[in-house]
Amino acid sequence: MNLIIASDHAGLPLKCDLIPWLLERLGLTATDLGPSSSDSVDYPDFAGYLCRNLLDGNAERGILICNSGIGMSISANRYPGVRAALCLFPEMAFYARHHNNANVLILAGGLTAPFLAREIATIFLREEFDGGRHSRRTDKVESVSQANFR
């Protein structure tokens, strides 16, 4: 599986911990979209980089990390076709995949210990979508995200 990952400056420490662990333990190919320093950056820019890459078919799944996870969640879910889920616990990652077919995992770098982020990411990357009745629901979400509301 190809994976893309990005953060803002607050999510950088967790991202730097997570990438080598994912490559070594899960044998994934990962592309780091930045940033590479702790200089202040704007999270919507990095959410956008990741979402556009995902929608262009450059990866099957993505991971975004900011301090609380909220900003990245809001930003990523603005892109039709992106189903980003903020997961604070492993069970949330399980349901994000099985019931919601989430394709972007959002982690809260300021709230999530590295050992817990590794467990959440592992579940998110290994689990599959259940389909069935859940497809009907995810299709409705997708149709709403593509509609023009005023």
Residue-range definition of the domain harbouring residue 74: 2-146
Reduced to 3 states, what is the DSSP secondary structure of residue 12? Answer: helix
Cα–Cα distance, 118 to 97 (Å, whole number) = 16
CB 113 within 8 A of CB 119: no
* Mean pLDDT of all residues belonging to the chain: 93
Residue type, position 116, single letter: L
- pLDDT-based confidence at residue 123 (cuts at 50, 70, 90): very high
Task: List the CATH number of the domain containing 27.
Answer: 3.40.1400.10
Mean pLDDT calculated for residue range 25-50: 95
The pLDDT assigned to 150 comes to: 43
Could you give the number of structural domains in the chain?
A: 1
Residue 146 confidence class, pLDDT cut points 50, 70, 90? low
How does residue 147 score in pLDDT terms, banded at 50, 70 and 90? low
pLDDT > 80? residue 144: no
The whole-model pTM stands at: 0.94
**DSSP reduced 3-state for 113:** coil
Tell me what pLDDT residue 129 has: 87
Residues 16-41 as b/e (b if ≥16 CB within 10 A, e otherwise) read: ebbbeebeeeeebebeebbbeeeeeb
Active site residues: 66, 99
Whether residue 35 has a cis bond before it, omega within 30° of 0: yes
From residue 137, alpha-carbon distances to 9, 27, 49, 64, 134 in Å are 35, 32, 27, 24, 5
Res 149 pLDDT > 60: no
